[in-house]
Amino acid sequence: MHISVEKHKENLLVQFKGELDHHSSEIVRQKIDQQYLDQNIRNIILDLRGLTFMDSSGIGLIMGRYKNCIEKKGKMFIVNDNPQVEKILKMSGLLKIINVYPTIESAIENI
């Protein structure tokens, strides 16, 4: 699992590459939370397009970051085009509370 976490103004852009499961979610959680401590950051954009696998540990990870976002009065956006990832996102009910965009640009336009 490779993850890149970048700050863009008040947004935290997180890009995933590889497989997100219980094993990899721990380090991902630490990396995101560490950067999200920055007071100027409010919104989180999760780009899941590079994921080749995700199970319910990924759902737990997204739910946890979403809660942090709400506490900071920020918004969360998901960028995804992978049908397998979409299937599990849909099942979890997350798509009812978080909008999904096909590209990072379209997500940023909607902030």
Report the nearest approach of other proteins to the CB of residue 68 (Å): 11
- Specify the stretch interacting with other proteins by CB under 8 A; choose among 2-10, 35-43, 55-63, 73-81: 55-63
Of the candidate residues 3, 17, 21, 104, the single one contacting other proteins (CB under 8 A): 21
Contacts of residue 79, Cβ cutoff 8 Å, sequence gap at least 6:
45, 46, 47, 48, 49, 100, 101, 102, 103, 104, 107
Site residues for other proteins, 23-42, by CB under 8 A, read 23, 29
> Does 56 participate in binding other proteins (rule CB under 8 A)?
yes
Instruction: Provide the CA 8 distance to its chain's centre, in angstroms.
Output: 15
22 touches other proteins (CB under 8 A): yes
The token pair at 61 is: 């990870």
Measured in degrees and rounded to the nearest 5, phi and psi for residue 72 equal -95, 10
CA 17 to chain CA mean position, Å: 12
Q: By CB under 8 A, is residue 63 in contact with other proteins?
A: yes
* Chain residues in the site for other proteins (CB under 8 A): 19, 21-23, 29, 53, 55-57, 59-61, 63-64, 83-84, 87-88, 91-92
